[in-house]
Structures are given as C-alpha cells and as structure tokens.
A and B are shown apart, each in its own frame.
Chain A
Amino acid sequence: MSASSTKPVVRISDLHKSFADQVVLDGLNLEVQAGECLGIMGGSGTGKSVALRHVIGLMQPDSGRVEVFGREVAGLSANELRALRRRVGYVFQEGALVGWMTVEDNLALPLRERGKLSEPQIAERVAEALETVHVVGAGQKFPSEISGGMKKRVSIARALITKPELVLYDEPNAGLDPEISRSINALMREVSEKLGVTSLVVEHRVECLRRVADRVLFIHEGKALVNDITASFFQPSHPRLMAFLGHEQE
C-alpha cells in the first residue's frame, strides 16, 4: 500500500510522558499518512502502548503535540474528543469485549449507542462484520465461550463496524499461538487493503509487522530510533535495532 503525500492522519511531535520518576516517552516523533499502516516496535516498557493511548486521548502528554486528523487531541473538548473517537477503531491487547454481552451484542453496541441505524440494519452490519473477520456462527456465544483467536477477530470486527478512518492495534498477536497469529495478521492486511483504512500497529513480533506494516518505527528509550519502510527496516544497520532483532553485527 502506498502512502499519500497529503496531511498526515496522525502526527506526534516531541512527545514527553513520565510516570513518577520513570521517563517513558522522551521526545517521540512520528507521522502516519492516510491509507498507510505504520508498525511501532520496541522492547517491553518502551512506551509503545502509551503512545497509542495518547492518540486516542486516553492520556495527556506532559509536553509535545499529538495531532489526529489535523486536530490537537489535548486541546479538544469532551464533545470534540467523542467525535474524534467515533472516527477511530481500537483493538485492545486482550480484546476487551464486554463479558456479559454476546458476540453479536458486542458488535451491535457501538451502532446502537449512536442510534442512527434501525435494528435490521444493525443486524445486517453485524453479520457482515462477522463474515469479514471469518467468525460466522459464534454470534450468540459469550466472549468466555470463544477462543483467544476468535476474541481477537471479534475485537477487530468491533473496531471496524463503525467504519473508522483510523484503526489502532495494541499488540494484536499477544497471547496467540503462531498459527492463529498468522491468520490474524492476514486478516489485518486484508482489512487494510480492502477497506483502505489508516492503521497504527503496536507489536514486538517481527512476523506481524513484516506482514502488515508499510513502514516500521523502532522506539528505544522513549525516542524513535529507526523509521523505515518495512523491507529496509528488517535489514537494519543501526546497532541497537540489530541487537533487538537478533542480527549479528559484521
């Protein structure tokens, strides 16, 4: 997928964030162009998920700017933030499906809350979403009755059902075996190509980013250390990235 040269969908400039004495982000910069899939890679605790949470307004920066669709997230009112979030889908690490609702109700929830569609239209959209993520026949089950891979698929379906312009994935391969991870990666790629949505994927598994990302950014000590197109990223020359990926230095 090619990145356009128009205004970026997400722009993070000099983002700083600390928790007590621990500096997590220390001047992070990144941009995601419309239609592009950017992967964010880095070790545990390097602030990948924290960066993602700033994009959706779940966290406020200590300093720096986070702009989404050209608007600074920190400066938005509650109503403006709600409006922005309606244009964004978020896939949580553990799925975060509502446990006391069936799969169908989980998918229908954001549509029902918006109140713009009738029940038959919602049912149609739910069936369509389940088909897109290849989970047919599990609509009446509760999240506790389906496997981890299916939960992740349903979570992706829930993020996509409102037809967002930007989808944020927080470690979509976490807790999945290699076979299911491959199928989730294929699904993410399929969704990205078919629907043309902009994606931001936080992941530390090489296979996932190699498969789904157009470009990959490596975070180290709170900063973007390497930012390159996927093919070049996995042929690194930076010693820190080489060490992270397990490449031997010449």
Chain B
Amino acid sequence: MTPDYLPSWWPQLLTVLFAAGVAHAAWHSAGPRALLEEAGSRLMLLWAVFARLHHLPKRRNWLLSQVRSAAISNLYVISLVGVFIGMIFALQAGIELARFGQQDQIGPLVAAGIAREMGPFITALVLASTYGSAMAAEMGTMAVSDELTALEVMSIDRVSLLVLPRVVALAIVCPAMTVISDMIGIIGGGIVASTQLGVGWDLYLDSAITSLAGLGETFPVPKDIFGGLFKSFCFGIAVALISCASGISARGGALGVGRATSRAVRDATITIIVANYFLTWMIYR
C-alpha cells in the first residue's frame, strides 16, 4: 500500500535506484571494462547455449548424469533447509497472527510465501553454493590444465559438450527441487502450526492447498505454484551459466580456480536476488 505522501510510482523509482546502486558498486569494484566484458561474455554464452539446443539428443548421457548428480547430491540439503524455512516462517508469522486471533490463516500464508518466494529462492541459493561452485571449480580446473584448449584444438564444440548439458540440467533440477522444497517447507510449517499455534493439521493443509489452487488471469494454472517454478527455472539457468562462464575464464593455476569459484557463487547469489525482484514484479504485480 503506497502512503499518501509518496507518489504512486515510488516502487519503480526504488527499483531504478537499487539497480543503479548495484551497478555502481560493481562498476567500481571490478572496473567498467572488466564488468562489461564479463556481462558480455555471459550473454554470448547464453546465446551460444540456446543456439545449440538441437544438440541435446547427442548430449543426453551427459545431461542425465548432470541431472542425477545435481539432484542426488543436493536433495538432503534442500530438504533440511526447506523444513526449517517452513518452520521459521510459520513461527514468525504465527506469533503475529496469534496476537489478532488469526492463527487459522497460517496455512495460506505459509503456502503462498513458500511457493512464491522462499522455495525457489532458497533452492537456487543452495544449488549455487553447492552444485554451482563445484561446476565452476570443475570447469576452472579444466581451463588451467589445458583441457579446454585441448578440446578447442580437436575442434570439439565445448559449449555443446560442457555448458549445454549443465545449463539444461539445472533448468530441470532447480524447479524439481523447488517442488520438493515447497512440499517439505509446507509440512515444516504444519508441524509448527499444529504443535505451537494450536492449528489442526487438517485445517492447515486444507487451507494451504486451497490457497495454492487459485488460477492466474493470464494463464489458467495455479499461479503461486507455477510463478515460483518459473522463477526457479530462470534461477537454474542463471546459476549454471554463471558457474560455467566463471570456470571457463579461470587463469593461473589453483589460485585462479579458487577465484573463479568464489566469483561464481558471489555473482550467482547477486543475480538470484536481483532477478527475484524483477521476476516477482513481472509475475505478481
């Protein structure tokens, strides 16, 4: 709700100021030329990946192997984080709702909050810090040990061989893990609701599921669920792309691999946060 003393366009102004602040900080920390070059090379890589989507049938084995390792190695982390996020969210919101005797509303609140926001966001952050960093380190090691040069010399398309399966794998795994994180988060919220807020399981689950079933206006699908999954899909692509690009550009031995890995996690985190705002604005405004 916009206060009367502020113009109606103040959220947009805030967005522009925020984006300008991020750009200003990045410009001064990395230098304008390096920043533009890095942004340009990542956009070129994204384009190169899209242009090679028809190579996917040839890369199905690598794709399956990436999907398997990304999903399996992160399932327990995402489950653990998901259940506690749901519990924290339910506890924080429930305490406030209880002050007004509205704790029955905890189901829809937790469900919407997790499906729209926390599920995709936390899943992407976990994947960026675990799988994304591993991906950057792997590509970085390949770069500093001449493996990428060897592929180039053999005229092997490294975007098709290395980047495409990883980007597509995270575009699949991130939404899939978000579904799991959402479900577990909602269950976590239910544990708090039933044990600490005195809301029955049936009421909690019924109200949560009913609230998530609401259809969108543009697309007749449950908006909260599919909005969150769309965000997750974008985050997955961003994490894989940034990690691969950072790894490929690694130079200078083990130190260079370390720098590339930390750059990948830092940039992926910033991208997830900034993109989350704009995607939320696009989907839910």
Contact = CB atoms under 8 A, between A and B. Distances in A.
A31 interface: no
Interface residues of B, number: 16
A113 B147 contact: no
Given A82-B155, A109-B154, A110-B154, A58 B146 contact: no
A96 B155 contact: no
A3 interface: no
Nearest to A98: B147
Interface in B139-179: 141-142, 145-147, 149-157, 161
Report, as a range, how many residues of chain A touch the other chain: 20 to 34
A99 B141 contact: yes
Interface in A87-106: 88, 90, 92-94, 96-100
Contacts of B150: 90, 92, 96-98
Contact of A94 (B142, B145, B153): B145
B150 to A, nearest CB: 4
B138 interface: yes
A15 interface: no
Contact of B153 (A58, A83, A98, A113): A58
A85 B154 contact: yes
Main secondary structure, interface of A, reads loop
Task: Find the residue from B142, B146, B150 having the highest chain A CB count within 10 A.
Answer: B150
A109 B146 CA distance: 16
Interface of B: prevailing SS: helix
Given A96-B149, A96-B150, A99-B147, A113 B156 contact: yes
A99 B142 contact: yes
Contacts of A58: 149, 152-153
B153 A56 contact: yes
A100 B141 CA distance: 11
B25 to A, nearest CB: 30
Contacts of B151: 98
Given A92-B146, A96-B145, A97-B150, 16 more contacts: A58-B153, A88-B153, A90-B150, A90-B154, A92-B149, A94-B146, A96-B146, A96-B150, A99-B142, A109-B154, A110-B154, A113-B155, A113-B156, A113-B157, A113-B161, A158-B154
B141 A110 contact: no
A210 interface: no
Nearest to B151: A98
Q: Which of B141, B149, B155, B157 has the most CB of A within 10 A?
A: B155
A86 interface: yes
Contact of B146 (A93, A100, A162): A93
Contacts of B138: 100
A96 B146 CA distance: 5
A97 B153 contact: no
